[in-house]
A and B are shown apart, each in its own frame.
Chain A
Amino acid sequence: MNETAPPVSTARKSAVNIGTLERVGSATLGILLLLKGLKRRSIVGTAVAFAGGKLLYRGVSGHSRLYGAVGASTANEEKDDGVVDVHPSITIAKSPDELYRAWKDPENLTRIVAHFAEVTASGEARTHWSVKNPFGKNIEWEAQVVEDRPGEFLHWQSNPGAPWPNDGSVSFSPGPAEWSTVVTLQFRFDPPGGDVSGLVLRRLRFVPRTLATKALRRFKSLMEAGEIPTLRNNSAARTGALANAF
């Protein structure tokens, strides 16, 4: 009896071989061409839309058949695929104790992450999170504090069964000179394979990192200046919900 050889792995064929920045550019250009092409109902329009679609696919999937065929890759394999694991840090002119207590206050946390999430206290050391995914749908989960070292460290995890399992921690350690604290946020999430929106975020890793960095900046502003800089009610000759977003 002959043993059949195991099937050739298809992993390499669909591997990410385009760098992140190139993918963002490809996807952006792709969307633009797609929209332009669809507006122009003609043979040329169809061709443009088709090209746009190809570019968009290339950007989102991260895989180029052309690159694959010639063995090229602009991707940094370690960085461009896999779980999202970001760990920005910031230095704030307050003591570790003060910052630890402020971070634990759900009212502060709500304000700090308001740029991408709605957070409410839902129990002892528990918070309820609601985030809009890239396609506008609400993703919700509960986060439970699993480790708490006053003045130093907080670690939380999403509840079992959360759609985007995630894990985060914040540490407070003395910074340069006596007046400051280094606050380091570590955030990890690993959406399951079938989740398209999670996949998008996983592959555009700079988005979670930017959101986390901005949360730290908002915390810094809240603690040092007493307020988070805002364009709420900013006067402008514009109306609508996005009048003061950028």
Chain B
Amino acid sequence: MRALCWNGVNDLRVETVPDPEIVNPRDAILRVTMSTTCGSDLHFIDGYIPTMRQGDVIGHEFMGEVVDVGPGVNKIKKGDRVVTPSFVCCGECWYCRNDLWSLCDNTNPNPELQEPLFGYPTAGIYGYTHAFGGYAGSHAQYIRVPHADVDCFQVPEGLRNEQVVFLSDAVTTGYMGADFCGLKGGETVAVWGCGGVGLMAQRSAYLLGAARVIAIDRFPERLRAAREHAGAETIDYTAVDSVTETLKEMTGGRGPDACIDAVGMEAHGTGIGYAYDRAKQALRLHTDRG
């Protein structure tokens, strides 16, 4: 089959790779019908995250039609239209049972790559470096999905593919950001970033009870999307002296009740803070510790 492969830093190529096969009884094979990009893909494409190998198939936000199932699959059937999350999850470990799916104990074939850094491995992710499992990704014609009964969600009739594909990543990530805010109703939430995840976070904040959502970005089309699709108020950070002061002015000096960062590793900014960030980015020294 044809697939989009990482060939080196900023070197992506469409190559011919072997078709996926059923390996374990709980596997399914999907014919990928939609696969989208994610801002986080930039991190390994640009070389910020190590452990990619030349020839890795990328892509982790997708949906498809089931074309084959292993003997241990009971709920999902051939022909089903399904959406699958980016993370591979077993459904049986303590983390899965406690809704901490991205920490699944049983889906990372290379736990030793993350243990020195984090102490424990995360779950595996499709198409996202060997530290995160090394599974072939979804920018391909077909993909192998382990634990299909747990990880494949059947799409109800009447919903278009475009309406559901983002449940694979952007919606759930943005929703989780809003969920973390612990909203009780009536709050003001500020969201940095009006990309895919940012817009979902803004919408989710409203769904979870926020009264006002203030979205921050610099690209006019993204700010417009935030206003028109998410219903947010917007701040163009290149057009104001200080985002902090602007937020305070908009909220009677209190500032937002909760903040969501939907920008991440390769942030852009202005002033001295940005110069510092750029230096760290260039030296690949950007860490969780700031």
Taking Cβ atoms with an 8 Å cutoff, the residues of A that contact B are 91, 93, 180, 210, 213-214, 217, 220-221, 224-238, 243-244, 246
Contacts and interface: CB of A to CB of B under 8 A. Distances in A.
B55 A231 contact: no
Contact of A221 (B54, B105, B113): B105
A180 B93 CA distance: 11
Given A217-B111, A221-B107, A224-B93, 20 more contacts: A213-B111, A213-B115, A224-B106, A226-B24, A226-B92, A227-B24, A227-B146, A229-B88, A230-B24, A230-B109, A231-B109, A235-B19, A235-B20, A235-B140, A235-B142, A236-B17, A236-B55, A236-B57, A237-B57, A238-B53
Majority-rule SS of B interface residues: loop
A217 B5 contact: no
Interface string B85-104: 00010111110010000000
B106 A237 contact: no
Contacts of B17: 235-237
A244 B112 contact: no
B113 A217 contact: no
30 contacts: A180-B94, A210-B115, A213-B115, A214-B111, A224-B93, A224-B106, A225-B90, A225-B92, A225-B93, A226-B24, A226-B25, A226-B92, A227-B26, A228-B109, A229-B124, A233-B20, A234-B20, A234-B136, A234-B144, A236-B55, A236-B57, A236-B136, A237-B3, A237-B15, A237-B16, A237-B17, A237-B57, A238-B55, A246-B51, A246-B113
Nearest to A246: B130
Interface residue range, chain B: 35 or more
A1 B7 CA distance: 78
A225 B96 CA distance: 11
Contacts of B140: 235
Contacts, number: 110
Interface of B: 1, 3, 5, 7, 13, 15-21, 23-26, 51, 53-57, 72, 88, 90-94, 97, 105-113, 115, 124, 130, 133-136, 140, 142-144, 146-147
Contacts of A91: 94
A84 B230 CA distance: 59
Q: Which 7 A-B pairs have the closest CB atoms?
A: A237-B55, A225-B90, A237-B15, A238-B55, A221-B106, A225-B106, A235-B136
Contact of B105 (A213, A224, A233, A235): A224
A227 B92 CA distance: 11
B23 to A, nearest CB: 5
A234 B134 contact: yes
Contacts of B21: 233
